[in-house]
Amino acid sequence: MEYVPHTERDKRRMLETIGVASVEDLFSDIPESFRLKGSLNLPPPLAEQEAFSLLEELAARNRPGRIVLAGAGAYRHYIPAVVGHVTGRSEFYTAYTPYQAEISQGILQAIYEYQTMIANLTGMQVANASMYDGASAVAEAAVLAAKTLGRNRIVTARSVHPEYRRVLSTYAWANGYDLAEVPFGADGRVDGKALQGAMDGRTAAVILQSPNFFGVIEDLSSLEETVHSAGAFLVAAFTEALSLGILKPPGASGADIVAGEGQSFGNPMAYGGPYLGIFAATGKLLRKIPGRLAGATVDRDGNRAFVLTLQTREQHIRRERATSNICSNEALCALAASVYLVSLGKNLKKLAELNVWKALYLKDRLLSLPGWKRVFSGPEFNEFVLRCPDSRGANALLEKEGIIGGCELGHEYPELEGCLLFCATEMLSRIDMDRVVEILTGA
């Protein structure tokens, strides 16, 4: 903790200035039952040198596995050195939200280029300057649909990431929306008949994830008519952004809004954040999207210049007209994504293909183990679900070898108890995957 310079006299003067008698008075609005009684149960104070030694010891325990088989919304991809070099430059690394935007031409150009690449990848006409993360982007898509159509029912596939659905549930509770979930079939895809039955005149949006939480690729084109015939918006969600490099763009499948997580584009897993929320939409929703939008123009001398074309947050316009209360974006993470995408260029597709082949190899090798079975028959990207004789035992065995195993699904999906969600990216070598099978064979 940094040195705090305020003396007792300083504190008294500040309290007198704002008209309160004590620091406790600042918390008078908080009910007594929620206030801390007594001191926290903390160890005795340490000298600065001792404190740093303790923190270093604690940090040393965070040793990620050399081999990572888990995905489920956090993906371990190789990040080219150029990404850290550019994002680490002081003019980017220390940049704050551009309130006087046009002075910050470098930041605006970076945002503009990010928006352009995201629009191209998603097949949409417009993309905003980014959002907090994939979960908030999906929830904001639901709010946009409900406000635009004047409806209050949101339908989501049960195969959408569980954490995304929890955030959506919170948004729905706050806004008074009804939520309905549609089950998945034996192929791991959303049940088309159940989806049709869930639609009614109050439905504002249908949220489908592809690849979904199980890694299965949804056929959005076949479901688009069902959604639009009911007058609702189709929201295409994703957690693995790399899939955009190989799959049909959601916009080409009839999506009205595309929302998801961009962590795979040049951002490390970093124990859960900061992450990058991607949000794109059709042109007709341009003035309703949350966040901000950078645009290109020319200055009075005819030189190319960048401006904040749209600022729909409450800090910039009247609160009652704001489209969202999200008051910032993930500009640095978006910059990392831009540098990553530029460095890969057309090789993004090759990298996506490599992920597919890695996943196929790992799946085939694991299926050679006695009692291991494939759960879903649908096509997959770089994740897949397998049922095994002892999921917890398998992961415990791998952990002893410094390997992070698959994601256990039973706590989120009781019907999938004993099933593991595996992920294979370019970071897994053939030797790594053979080693995993060798360890599990020994069990």
Which stretch of DSSP H or E encloses residue 363?
helix 347-367
DSSP alpha helices (H): ranges in 71-180?
A: 81-87, 90-93, 105-122, 134-149, 162-175
**Domain ranges in the chain with CATH number 3.40.640.10:** 81-344
Are the C-beta atoms of residues 107 and 331 closer than 8 Å to each other? Answer: yes
- Residues belonging to the chain: 443
Spatial CA neighbour of 84 closest among 340, 406, 412, 331: 340
- Alpha-carbon span 355 to 375, nearest angstrom: 20
- DSSP state, residue 28: T
Partners of 131 in the β-ladder: 277
- Alpha-carbon span 319 to 309, nearest angstrom: 18
Record the tokens describing residue 289, joined without a space. Answer: 């999207």
pTM of the entire structure?
0.87
Residues in Cβ contact with 278 at an 8 Å cutoff, skipping those fewer than 6 apart: 118, 122, 127, 130, 131, 134, 137, 241, 258, 259, 260, 261, 262
Spatial CA neighbour of 188 closest among 374, 378, 406: 378
**Domain ranges in the chain with CATH number 3.90.1150.10:** 67-77+347-442
Are the C-beta atoms of residues 121 and 244 closer than 8 Å to each other? Answer: yes
- Is the four-CA dihedral 332, 334, 338, 341 of positive or negative sign? positive
Structurally, at CATH architecture level, domain 81-344 sits in 3-Layer(aba) Sandwich (3.40)
First to last CA, the chain: 47
The CATH fold of domain 67-77+347-442: Aspartate Aminotransferase, domain 1 (3.90.1150)
pLDDT at position 312, please? 66
* Distances in whole angstroms, Cα of residue 281 to Cα of each of 210, 233, 237, 353: 16, 11, 12, 26
- Alpha-carbon span 57 to 90, nearest angstrom: 30
Are the C-beta atoms of residues 338 and 110 closer than 8 Å to each other? Answer: yes
DSSP alpha helices (H): ranges in 152-219?
A: 162-175, 192-198
Partners of 402 in the β-ladder: none
Average pLDDT of each block of 10 consecutive residues along the chain (443 residues)?
78 93 90 86 91 92 84 96 94 74 86 96 96 95 96 98 97 95 97 95 97 98 96 98 97 98 95 90 93 91 91 62 70 95 96 98 97 97 97 94 95 96 97 96 77
Strand 203-209 to 304-311 pairing: unpaired
Q: Half-sphere exposure of 53 toward its Cβ, with a 13 Å CA cutoff? A: 5
* Other Cβ atoms within 10 Å of 364 Cβ, number: 11
Are the C-beta atoms of residues 218 and 236 closer than 8 Å to each other? Answer: no
E strands, 319-427, where? Answer: 373-374, 383-387, 403-404, 407-408, 419-423
Distance of CA 285 to the CA centre of its chain: 22
* Distances in whole angstroms, Cα of residue 409 to Cα of each of 232, 387, 391, 412: 31, 10, 10, 6
Residues in Cβ contact with 92 at an 8 Å cutoff, skipping those fewer than 6 apart: 86, 106, 107, 110, 332, 335
Partners of 203 in the β-ladder: 153
Cα angle, residue 97 at apex, residues 93 and 99 outer, rounded to 5°: 140
Angle between helices 391-400 and 430-442 (to 10 degrees): 120
